[in-house]
Amino acid sequence: MAVTTNQFKNGMCIVHNGKRWIIIDFQHVKPGKGGAFVRTKLKELESGKVVDVTFNAGEKIEDVRVETRHMQYLYSDGSTLHFMDTGSYEQFELSAEFVGEAAKWIKENDEVEVLTADGEMMGVEAPMFVDLEVAETEPGFKGDTVQGGTKSATLQTGAIVQVPMFVEAGDRVQVDTRDGRFVKRV
């Protein structure tokens, strides 16, 4: 199915140069001179690479139907992560490379969304916010928090984030998975 640039929406999946892309951001531009165009920021589904692409206004682009499947992360055996579809109870094995960055934010029994396009699995999205336990961090000393400083902390999944000085090993923290930023202690 083809769509025009006038129908672009954030999150829409399109085919451009033979690859599948998700529209992260777009802007219609009508300069004083010349024809209108659409400036977009696209994320490639396979590699996760983000690029800026400009289309002519009214240009037809092939649309891809993307669906999300709710799955539960079961366990990892090193190079493979195991998931279960929460609707059909069917189990899937996905390589660690395929899961990518999402693997460092999920722990056993967490719910994730798996993107599928044309029946083919395209990627795994962790929840926007996750609560994880701090496995290891340096101790904070009295007086260190005056300037609002931060320190590195290794979470139970192996992810490393910057946390305030008052956070200690064993504390549970909430992290924004989009940018790996500490949100709060829970």
Residue 144 predicted with pLDDT over 60:
no
Same fold, 67-125 and 129-185: yes
Pick from 9-23, 122-136, 140-154: least confident? 140-154
Residue 111 predicted with pLDDT over 80:
yes
Pick from 32-41, 64-73, 115-124: least confident? 115-124
21 neighbors 8 (Cβ within 8 angstroms): no
The pTM of the full predicted model, rounded to 2 decimals, is 0.68
| Assigned CATH for 129-185 | 2.40.50.140
102 neighbors 124 (Cβ within 8 angstroms): yes
CATH value of 2-64 in 3.30.70.1170, 2.30.30.30, 2.115.10.20, 3.90.550.10: 2.30.30.30
CA nearest to 98, candidates 85, 84, 115, 110: 115
Structural element, H or E, at residue 164: strand 160-164
Residue 106, C-beta contacts closer than 8 angstroms, at least 6 positions apart: 73, 112, 126, 130, 157
| Assigned CATH for 67-125 | 2.40.50.140
